[in-house]
Structure 1
Amino acid sequence: MTSFDKPKKQNVIFMVSDGMGPSSVTLARSFKQQRDHLPFGELLHFDKHLIGQVRTSSNDTLVTDSAAAGTAFSCGLKTYNGGIAVDPFKNPCGTVLEAMKLDGYLTGLVTTTRITDATPASLSAHVVSRKQEDSIAEQQLWEHPFGSIVDLLIGGGRCHFLPSSVSGGCRKDSRNLVNEAIAKNYTYVSDRAGFDALNNGKNVSLPLLGLLAPKDIPYDIDRNASVYPSLAETAKTALTALSKATEKSEQGFFILIEGARIDHCGHHQDAAAHVREVLAFDDAFKEVLDFIDSSDVPTILVSASDHETGGLGVARQVQPEYPDYLWYPQVLVNSTHSGEFLIKKVAAKEKTISSKFDAAAFSGWIAEEIFKKDLGILDYTGQEVRNVRKLATSPDDLLKYLNNMVSVRSQTGWTTGGHSGGDVSVYAYSNNDYLDTMLYERGGLLGNVENADIATFMANVANVSLSDVTQLLRDAKKPKA
């Protein structure tokens, strides 16, 4: 067989940069050039693999949410915002992951948010509302119409696998899915030590359930590397584990690797955290490229965003007169923590205030600790100090205020605290000529495509039928309402 023949075995890697738009890439690229003293021609890893754009609308609006976008990516159809792997009439639709699992592939999900959140859920569960995360957790393990369909799960979201009677649990029932999984011979890891024991994926016994945080894994700007692995590390571990497990199999594997918290930074309009989440995703992208180049199994990578978040602009008019054509990445370099991190820090300090003397000291602490040390802001005003004091017990308002201080000074613009409807980018790579040809021929991903075309393309690569899986699901049962 030559590399132009259709592979008998292949791996499909799907990466999702949740909330990352074209301006996110520009922002992160310029930030990295500034921080690392790189030439202006220096590109990010995924920059070199750009092949097209994706239209992002959902079935019921021009501005999608992650559930509808994830369903388009997984089922090849558009649904309503909030629906997880169901059609507009709330009937289940077959996903790429399910189709490949039924065809003998191993499957995996890796994310930096809750493993039960919209994007991983849309590949592995069927519910009428993304809020049904307890049900999603059950389906991701074994209570799916097809049984256990996910062989490897790594992310946050331990909360939805544990009852509320247990520390860190938030399930509405009394089930302890972690204990149930262990009883069913899942390998379970919940911390850095357990993750490190996996030895970069060389010491993994599938199925694997890795729940590394109660909810979201911290932003990369805040992440303590001794406590939480990076997305690049979890991706590498997952790829190695699945590759090892399929070494002697007729079929390869399918995996989702999601940089989920780019989206959260956009919702919070946190420019300093945003650029670092994009770069963390880029590091994971590089790990995937290295894996593909070292693999003798034909492997294809498709990477896309589900939507853009924040309406990000790489410039901002901060004065009423004709604007300067400027933005300042060094401001983001100087900022060393997210607003999410800092509001907790301020709230904890505020609780220690018990006298007028303490209140005066609190102002000094805000100036020195929050503004100078954490945000890298030296030109703060007395009014800004007083404003933070007033907002110390109003976390949502304080979050907006601190993040805006950084955005204004860097002249980073935002138009919304939600999603926007613009097109987003598609990146792709493979180590096989036949798979490359599929990318660029008619029906591939070159140019401008619909989000639902991503699922159709991946199903074609794997030679599986989404419609057949949809029929099997509908013969089984309807999703939980």
Structure 2
Amino acid sequence: MKLTSACIILTATGLVSAQFAPKPKGKCLPGTSPSGVKNVVLLISDGFGPASQTTARTFFQARDKLPYEWKSPLDDIIVGTVRTKAYDNWITDSASAATAYACGVKTFNAGIGVTFDNQNCPTILEAAKRSGLRTGLVTTTRVTHATPAGFAAHVPERDWEALIAQQLIGDNPTGGRELDVLFGGGASYFFPNTTKGSKRDDARDLHAEATTKFGWKNVATTRAQFDAVPSDKSALPLLATFTNSHMNYEIDRNSTLEPSLADMTKKALDTLKDGSENGKGFFLMVEGGRIDHAGHINDPAGHLHDIKAYWDTLELVKKFADEDGNTLVIHVSDHETGGLTVARQMNANQKDGATDDSGSWPYRWFPEALFKATASTEKLAGLIRAEAKANPAGDLVTYAKNLVVKSYGIDVKDEEITNLIAALKRERGSTQFTEWALGELLNSRAELGWTTHGHSGVDVLLGTYGRTGASIRGSYENTEISTIIQQRLNLDLGTVKFAYPPPPMPAPEALARRAEKKAQEHAYGLHN
């Protein structure tokens, strides 16, 4: 269905939003009339809530001695908020949120490109392709992860990443390749099962299939290969997967091995702009995905530095929009993660607002406690686990203490290291108690609070910039962002046809196991 009116039906009961109707009537969205937009760049900061913006701004103001009125690249373009609930839950996951932005419909948590009753839903990316636009996805997570997958795959279970990888290269129900650019991590889902580290259970080599069966011209698996590909239309279609799993946190990134989010986005913008045919433009989704992962494990250093990398990318895109003149930039998040608060109660005696010694209210947040952190909790936990395995009879306490002092630039008490080692010993399977304990060493000193290792239901920030961005203001459902993009690019979702339905929903017993697994993952701060 083509949305030529600026109005859509928004009748909702409880958690259930209405699907689009053939003749939209009802609430009129501000700023949704056609207006000559040629390109849309949708930037998604995964797991990034309003408190994340405040924390990051004040951290960099303090560390870099910036004036109090300094603004980040996001501050100047904030125009409203986005409501994030899923079809089946007041708190969304990334799959449901991505589907809302991509398809304009509410679906169940874990659903990728499907409706609440597990039917394929056409995405704005697929409709853009049928309108002659170039398309791209850029992320710091696995490219098969929920957010990028939601724009170009159709499965009822986000964890089916091997199947999602197949669909991303072109083996999908729409009948062929939908993407011109795909950058991120997740190579393990493209390698055949004969390759070490592969996550596939078959012998398909999707990197090879991409070029031999689905028309991809270039495939890169290293930064050197990526940099060698021209930044113009001759490179397209271009697929790049730099790491087996997610790309490294910005604070840990080796720039000779992995490009930054801004590096990948610049290559995407350059190639897509040059490759736009017949005067048509492009649709590009860019995700700062690991902001979310740091939120899950309550890692303040990882969280802040990935936010800065996202800001740098946003600044790059804004500059592109200034120079191009026909680009609309939209910033959203899919949800907030971690329940971050810029202050915390440090002990029980503060519960009524009084400290032990002064009786004053504990208005405290110490960004300087994070200034010297040079590694994520993920990296440090990995080093500690590796040392424990390699030297089971060694002095793990001294090793961990020296590592923390070097990486965080803080003095630590013996009891804190004892607690850290105890957390390591409590781990079972893929639990991340060590990351929690490492994060607490920083959080307690900075007096940052976190309320969960999962997602929260708070509204997230909306930002707009460039062509027609000034007319978008207010509070929106996440599905309405899709509607705005459809109308800006004059897209017709009805042009997207499907050759076959999505796979069946997992059996009830599998869904029950998944629910229990996800509950444990949230309890343990997992984000795989």
Q: What is the TM-score normalised by the length of structure 2?
A: 0.83
Partner of 1:480: 503
Partner of 1:460: 487
Partner of 1:239: 269
Q: 2:110–2:157: 8 Å Cα contact kept in structure 1? A: yes
Write out per-residue CA displacement over residues 67-118 of structure 1, whole angstroms, 9 at most, x where no aligned residue.
1111110111111111111111101111100111011101000000011111
Partner of 2:382: 344
User: Structure 2 regions of 5+ residues with no counterpart?
Assistant: 1-32, 355-360, 505-528
Matches for 1:359-374 after TM superposition, within 5 Å: 359=395, 362-370=396-404, 372-374=405-407
Q: 1:352 to 1:92 in 2, by over 3 A?
A: closer
Partner of 2:10: none
Alignment equivalent of 1:195, drawn from 226, 242, 245: 226
Q: 2:232–2:272: 8 Å Cα contact kept in structure 1? A: no
Please give the alpha-carbon distance, in whole angstroms, between the structure 2 residues aligned to 1:70 and 1:162: 25
Alignment equivalent of 1:331, drawn from 364, 369, 379: 369
Which AA in structure 2 matches 1:376?
Answer: G
Which AA in structure 1 matches 2:455?
Answer: H
The SS at the match of 1:15 is: strand
Matches for 1:189-228 after TM superposition, within 5 Å: 189-198=220-229, 201-202=231-232, 204-228=234-258
Write out per-residue CA displacement over residues 273-299 of structure 1, whole angstroms, 9 at most, x where no aligned residue.
111111110000011011111225x11
Q: 2:193–2:204: 8 Å Cα contact kept in structure 1? A: no
Alignment equivalent of 1:300, drawn from 328, 332, 335: 328
1:363 CA displacement: 2.6
Please give the alpha-carbon distance, in whole angstroms, between the structure 1 residues aligned to 2:422 and 2:86: 41
Q: 1:61 to 1:7 in 2, by over 3 A?
A: closer
Write out per-residue CA displacement over residues 45-87 of structure 1, whole angstroms, 9 at most, x where no aligned residue.
0110011100110111110000111111011111111111111
Give the 4+ runs in structure 1 shifted more than 3 A: 5-9, 389-395
Alignment equivalent of 1:388, drawn from 420, 426, 434: 420
Which AA in structure 2 matches 1:172?
Answer: D
Alignment equivalent of 1:398, drawn from 429, 434, 453: 434
Q: 1:155 to 1:194 in 2, by over 3 A?
A: same
Partner of 1:291: 320
Q: 1:350–1:392: 8 Å Cα contact kept in structure 2? A: no
Q: 1:93–1:469: 8 Å Cα contact kept in structure 2? A: no
Alignment equivalent of 1:269, drawn from 289, 294, 298: 298
Which AA in structure 2 matches 1:159?
Answer: S
The SS at the match of 2:175 is: coil
Which AA in structure 2 matches 1:23?
Answer: A
- The root-mean-square deviation of aligned C-alpha atoms, in Å, is 1.7
The SS at the match of 2:86 is: coil
Partner of 1:179: 208
The alignment status of 1:117 with 2:117, answered yes or no, reads no
Alignment equivalent of 2:124, drawn from 86, 96, 115: 96
Write out per-residue CA displacement over residues 105-141 of structure 1, whole angstroms, 9 at most, x where no aligned residue.
0100000001111111111011111111111111111
1:6 CA displacement: 5.7
Please give the alpha-carbon distance, in whole angstroms, between the structure 1 residues aligned to 2:341 and 2:432: 23
Which AA in structure 2 matches 1:255?
Answer: L
Write out per-residue CA displacement over residues 446-477 of structure 1, whole angstroms, 9 at most, x where no aligned residue.
111100000000000011122x146x33xx32
Please give the alpha-carbon distance, in whole angstroms, between the structure 1 residues aligned to 2:107 and 2:233: 40
User: Structure 1 regions of 5+ residues with no counterpart?
Assistant: none
Q: 1:183 to 1:386 in 2, by over 3 A?
A: same
1:231 CA displacement: 0.3
Please give the alpha-carbon distance, in whole angstroms, between the structure 2 residues aligned to 1:168 and 1:348: 18
Q: By percentage of residues, which structure has more helix?
A: 1
1:416 CA displacement: 0.6
Please give the alpha-carbon distance, in whole angstroms, between the structure 2 residues aligned to 1:170 and 1:204: 31
The SS at the match of 1:13 is: strand
The SS at the match of 1:351 is: helix
Partner of 2:199: 170
Partner of 2:465: 429
Q: What is the TM-score normalised by the length of structure 1?
A: 0.91
Please give the alpha-carbon distance, in whole angstroms, between the structure 2 residues aligned to 1:146 and 1:106: 17
The SS at the match of 1:41 is: coil
Please give the alpha-carbon distance, in whole angstroms, between the structure 2 residues aligned to 1:349 and 1:10: 53
The alignment status of 1:377 with 2:377, answered yes or no, reads no
Write out per-residue CA displacement over residues 161-218 of structure 1, whole angstroms, 9 at most, x where no aligned residue.
112220231112211101112324530111111122135x247521111001111000
